Amino acid sequence: MSHPPGHPRSPMLDLDQFEGRKRDHIELSLKPDHQAAGRSGLDSVRLEHEALPELDLVEVSLATDCLGLELPTPFFVAGMTMGHTAASGLNHRLAHACAERGWAMGVGSQRREFESTEQATELAREGRALRKSAPGAFLLANLGLSQLAGGSPESNADRVLRLVASIEAQALVIHLNALQEALQPEGTPRFRGGLKAIEEMVASIHRTGAGIPVVIKETGCGISEATARRLGSAGVSAIDVSGLGGTHWGRIEGARAVSGSLQSTASATFADWGIPTLDSVRAAASALSDNSHFRYSIWASGGVRNGLDAAKLIASGAHRVGFAQPALRAAMEGENALRAWMEQMEFELRVALFCTGSNSPAALRGRGVHESR
């Protein structure tokens, strides 16, 4: 079987290459050209103002269930980067702030620890240090589906549970990034058997009695209703739709590729590829409402830029709302800037709830939204 240039079937993990790629990702994600701005669908939505909300602003609570544990807010920082020198300080800063304010936090991909046995002890030490710096943080472990596809269920489960244990994570995120892997110069676009791998992972974790919820996360290209149904049937606990509208990894990998290469040229063709975040949330909500056996919660990320955006997504069916690039930018400015930004997001959501007559995110969910003309 042949494979496109730059896409070996079973690549060895090159640690120098890995470090360079992750540094590129941080730098390139901050560039406006790599954001699919205006594509999320949120600009076309408005919430109905309630002139008589019949409550005081101080009565509005942001407390929301997160995989069985109530957190003070419905927000989370989506996993961005992990396992290399440039990420350590940022992750500690984010984790500490998330613990303080009651946000969940996803770490970046733990692929390096999963694949490199020589580095596993060192990386586990890094994970323990992250947990020690933020003992109260709700942390989400993270691994790509292409690392699971093709592996044996028992081996995968054992290694994944070690990743979870290394940071004492409360949940496992498996991310889907087909477009990114296809366009990444050193990508691994191996997704055959992906749904089966997810089903086996959910079942394997259940058999261990570890009680670790599995969250499926896209990475900026969204989730269709048909895919949400397949994931619901697999027994996942949450789906982060991560739709079109924020950081576009196809654009980023195109910028990393050699100019004129297949990947570089294709990245321009696929610059707006994906399902908008709003459409993805509605699709996941439709699948959930049609099947009483599905137990997943809907997480929304992808182009969320303020608390009002969050309110629009919650009204459309989301249970939690995530930020990636805005959180990274704030964290890079320092601890005070990060905390101020988080407080601003919370205040804006609180105002949106108050002005719709909702005393909580749950009270807003399902009220419906209006399309602007």
DSSP 8-state secondary structure symbol assigned to residue 302: S
Angle separating helix axes 335-354 and 325-333, nearest 10 degrees? 140
**Interacting residues of 62 by C-beta distance below 8 A, sequence separation 6+:** 72, 73, 74, 346, 349, 350, 353, 360, 361
Asked which of 19-23, 56-60, 104-108, 243-247 is least confident by mean pLDDT, the reply is 19-23
- Written as six digits, the tokens of 316 are 């459309």
Q: Which of 49-58, 73-82, 149-158, 322-331 has the lowest mean pLDDT?
A: 149-158
- Give the mean pLDDT of 4-23: 52
| DSSP assignment letter at 118 | T
CA dihedral 287, 108, 204, 193 (to 10 degrees): 70
Dihedral sign from CA coordinates of 311, 29, 272, 197 = negative
Average pLDDT on 351-364 reads 97
219, 249 contact by CB (below 8 A): yes
What does the pLDDT look like over 195-207, one tens digit per residue?
999 999 999 999 9
Q: Which residues of 29-42 are buried (b: 16+ CB within 10 A; e: fewer)?
A: beeeebbbeebbbb
Write down the pLDDT at residue 31.
86
pLDDT band at 119 (very low <50, low <70, confident <90, very high): low
Q: What is the pLDDT of residue 151?
A: 77
Categorize the per-residue pLDDT at 149 as very low, low, confident or very high, splitting at 50, 70 and 90: confident
Between 292 and 21, name the one with better pLDDT. Answer: 292
CATH code for the part of the protein at 37-371:
3.20.20.70
**Tokens 């890094």 label which residue?**
126
Q: How confident is the model at residue 123 (pLDDT cuts 50, 70, 90)?
A: low
User: Is 245 exposed, middle or buried, given 0-12, 13-18 or 19+ CB atoms closer than 10 A?
Assistant: buried
Determine contact, residues 310/345, Cβ cutoff 8 Å.
yes
pLDDT of 167 higher than 50 = yes
- What is the mean predicted confidence (pLDDT) over 93-115? 92
**If you average pLDDT over each of 3-17, 18-32, 150-164, which comes out highest?**
150-164
Residue 10 has a pLDDT of 42
pLDDT at 1: 36
Q: What is the pLDDT of residues 58-84, one digit of tens each?
A: 999 999 999 999 999 999 999 876 555
Mean pLDDT (whole number) for 277-305: 97
Query: What pTM, to 2 d.p., does this model score?
Result: 0.91
pLDDT bin (cut points 50, 70, 90) of residue 88 is confident
pLDDT higher than threshold 60 for residue 26: yes
Task: Kindly state the percentage of the chain with pLDDT values over 70.
Answer: 89
Mean pLDDT, the chain, as a whole number?
90
Q: Distance between CA 129 and CA 195 in Å, rounded? A: 33
% of residues, the chain, pLDDT over 90: 72
